[in-house]
Every structure is written in C-alpha cells, then in structure tokens.
C-alpha cells in the first residue's frame, strides 16, 4: 500500500458513470423508484435544495424539508407532492434536538439525508455558543442533525447521507488550532473553505462508522450556480466568478462549471440514488461521478484536495465536533471510540 492510499481511500477515483457536467437532476434519477422511502433535505425550500426535493418527490419519495421559516418553506414547496415542512435552525442546538425528536417519534425510517443547507462568505457572525457561523451552519449543525437521526438511518437498512460541499473546499483546510477565528483575523472565504472541507471530512468519518450498518456517506461539489448562496456577495464579487456574459446575462456553461439549478442538483441526487454507488462511500463526487484527487497546490479547480479526504484529519474533526456539541451521546451509536 502506498503512502497516498494510507492517507485516503483508493476508491476516490472516477467510475465513468456515463453522466457529465450537463446532466440534470431528473436525468440522474431516471429509472429510480423511491416509492415507500423517506428523505430529509435541509435547505430544501430554495435553490439547489428545492430542485433536489422536486426530483426525489417525482421518484416517489416522501420528503421532509426543515426550514427556519416554515411558512416560507411551505410556500416554496407548494405543488410538489409528498413534501412535509418542519421547523429547524441549524445554528440552534435546541432546534436540532426538537426537530430530530419529532422525526424519531414518527417511527419512520430515514433512507436519504441530504445536508444541503448552507451559507457562504458571510460577515463574521457567531452562534449562541460563540462558534463561527459558517462552520456552525455548514458543518456542525449537520453533524449534530445526523447524529441524532442515526436510529432512523440505521432502521432504513440501507441509507445514504449526502453532504453538499463545494469546490470551495480547495480554499482552505480545517484550522484545528483556531476553527472559530478567535486568534487569527477573520476571512470570510477562508471560513467558507474550511466549512466545505469539513463537509468532505465528515463524509469520510461518517462512512467509516456507518458502513457496517449499511449507512453510506458522500460529499459533493454541485457546480457554480448563481443562487441564494451568493446573497452576501457584492455585485463586483459575483462578476469576478465570470458568471455574466457581455450583456449581463447569467452564463450557463457546464464545461466551465457554470450550471443552472437542474444541473447543480444532479450530483446530490446521483449520490443519493445511484446504484453505481452500491458498496461505496466516504468519497467526494462531482459531475455525477466520483471525483479524482487533486494536489493541494491549487493547480486544478476540479477534483478533491488531499486535505479534504485525509483519514486522520477526518477523525480529528469528528472528535472535535463531538466536543463542540457537548457530546450528549444519547444512544447515537456514533462515538469517537467507534472504529468500525
């Protein structure tokens, strides 16, 4: 075994799925029957999450959409069959406990959990515990949510947890010495990159713990999609991504990673449903395929950086994340000591 293989999973390489950058979510789900299955999609009332909800519903799933504002959430999903909206604030531990408590009380098995909600490049904000907001929302809230939903995931006897990361993970690794920017100057892009790296490391560590119970985890880059995630950016910052043509219209060019919502949601749907991924997990995907590994030197905007799939870093993040949510184990079955 090479040093490279020891650091990350050798299965982190393309499968030649037959799909590509222009594949839409509906195309990725073609022929998939989710009748009788339940999914939860955070962020499912706008942007990529809404398209993910629409396609999972069309495939037959019952989809639960958590929302900070349930009234807005219900208005967004109106007309989509088999969708239920419930209240959840990922930066509020009590809200996570309440939401998961209600779901577990329903007795439903959870077959698909898509952790799609997120914020990007925000001014410095902190949650009630003092944790930096992008890390708290994008990673820690989903970590807490997934732990509490573990009984429902294992009850499915075949579940997938899909974390919507980003190519933005290439911006920065997790700074384990100062995750919350208590000593280093706050940089909104470094904070975003760290949170997206955390999404990938979470999938690595979660899959290690879940595979014995047939709960598999994936992380992904959806593509560059101009949507609600950009709400904290100035117009000049958005223009820097080359998303507008000479007439000021949004460019859709999947080969340049510039996608619409239908294309951007495709990889999340593929990770959640594709039979090609049976027996796999803990990998990072893009363009409806497992991504190649790229060096940490920024030489390629595609693929997954080595720092985001490092097994030791994944374990370190898991342990720190448990400490940050005060590790009230409560039968999650996913303790740090679990090395299955």
pLDDT band, residue 226 (cuts 50/70/90):
confident
Residue 331 pLDDT greater than 70, yes or no: no
pLDDT band, residue 12 (cuts 50/70/90):
very high
Q: What pLDDT does 193 receive?
A: 97
Q: Per the domain annotation, does 293 fall within a domain?
A: yes
CATH number at residue 291: 3.40.50.720
Q: What percent of the chain has pLDDT over 70?
A: 93
Active site residue 284: no
DSSP 158: S
Mean predicted lDDT score pLDDT of the chain: 92
Q: Per the domain annotation, does 336 fall within a domain?
A: no
Is 31 within 8 Å of 58 (Cβ atoms)? no
Is 151 within 8 Å of 83 (Cβ atoms)? no
The mean pLDDT value for 31-49 works out to 97
Residue 209 pLDDT greater than 60, yes or no: yes
Q: What pLDDT does 71 receive?
A: 97
Q: Per the domain annotation, does 333 fall within a domain?
A: no
Q: What is the bridge-based pairing of β-strands 159-164 and 289-290? A: unpaired
Residue 330 pLDDT greater than 80, yes or no: no
DSSP 138: I
Q: Per the domain annotation, does 130 fall within a domain?
A: yes
Q: Is the pTM of this model over 0.95?
A: no
User: Distance between CA 224 and CA 154 in Å, rounded?
Assistant: 33
Residue 329 pLDDT greater than 50, yes or no: no
Burial group, residue 130, by CB count within 10 angstroms (0-12, 13-18, 19+): exposed
Using alpha carbons, list the distances in angstroms from residue 61 to 21, 34, 110, 206.
25, 5, 11, 24
Q: What pLDDT does 189 receive?
A: 96
The mean pLDDT value for 318-336 works out to 67
Burial group, residue 263, by CB count within 10 angstroms (0-12, 13-18, 19+): buried
Is 288 within 8 Å of 266 (Cβ atoms)? yes
Say which of 45, 192, 244, 284 is annotated catalytic.
192
Between 66-75, 98-107, 123-132, 221-230, the lowest mean confidence (pLDDT) is in 221-230
User: Distance between CA 3 and CA 15 in Å, rounded?
Assistant: 22
The mean pLDDT value for 50-77 works out to 98
Q: What pLDDT does 6 receive?
A: 62
Between 8-12, 25-29, 171-175, 206-210, the lowest mean confidence (pLDDT) is in 8-12
Residue 229 pLDDT greater than 90, yes or no: no
Q: Per the domain annotation, does 272 fall within a domain?
A: yes
Q: Per the domain annotation, does 101 fall within a domain?
A: yes
User: Distance between CA 80 and CA 25 in Å, rounded?
Assistant: 15
Q: Per the domain annotation, does 57 fall within a domain?
A: yes
Total domains, the chain? 1
Residue 161 is inside which H or E element, if any? strand 159-164
Residue 4 pLDDT greater than 60, yes or no: no
Q: Per the domain annotation, does 120 fall within a domain?
A: yes
Domain that holds residue 23: 3-324
Q: What pLDDT does 175 receive?
A: 98
């Amino acid at each position: 075994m090479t040093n490279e293989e020891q650091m990350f999973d050798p299965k982190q390489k393309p499968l030649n799925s037959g799909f590509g950058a222009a594949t839409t979510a509906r195309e990725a789900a073609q022929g998939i029957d989710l009748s009788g299955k339940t999914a939860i999609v955070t962020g499912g009332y706008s942007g990529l999450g809404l398209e993910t909800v629409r396609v999972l519903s069309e495939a037959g799933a019952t989809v639960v959409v958590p929302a900070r504002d349930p009234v807005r959430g219900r208005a967004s999903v109106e007309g989509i069959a088999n969708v239920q909206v419930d209240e959840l604030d990922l930066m509020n531990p009590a809200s996570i406990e309440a939401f998961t408590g209600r779901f577990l009380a329903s007795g439903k098995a959870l077959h698909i959990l898509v952790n799609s909600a997120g914020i990007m490049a925000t001014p410095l904000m902190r949650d009630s515990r003092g944790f930096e907001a992008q890390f708290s929302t994008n990673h820690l809230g989903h970590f807490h949510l997934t732990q509490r939903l573990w009984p429902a995931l294992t009850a499915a006897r075949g579940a997938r947890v899909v974390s919507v990361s980003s190519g933005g993970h290439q911006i920065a690794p997790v700074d384990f010495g100062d995750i919350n920017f208590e000593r280093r100057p706050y940089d909104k892009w470094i904070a975003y990159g760290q949170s997206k790296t955390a999404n990938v490391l979470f999938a690595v560590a979660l899959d290690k713990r879940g595979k014995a119970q047939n709960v598999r985890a994936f992380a992904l880059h959806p593509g560059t999609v101009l949507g609600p995630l950009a709400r904290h950016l100035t117009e000049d910052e958005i223009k820097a991504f080359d998303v507008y043509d000479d007439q000021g219209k949004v460019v859709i060019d999947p080969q340049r990673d510039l996608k619409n919502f239908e294309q951007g949601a495709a990889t999340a749907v593929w990770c959640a449903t594709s039979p090609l991924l049976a027996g796999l997990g803990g990998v990072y995907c893009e363009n409806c395929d497992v991504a190649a590994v790229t060096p940490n030197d920024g030489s390629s905007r595609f693929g997954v950086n080595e720092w985001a799939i490092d097994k030791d870093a994944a374990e370190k993040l898991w342990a720190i994340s448990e400490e940050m949510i005060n590790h009230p184990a409560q039968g999650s079955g996913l303790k740090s000591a679990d090395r299955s």
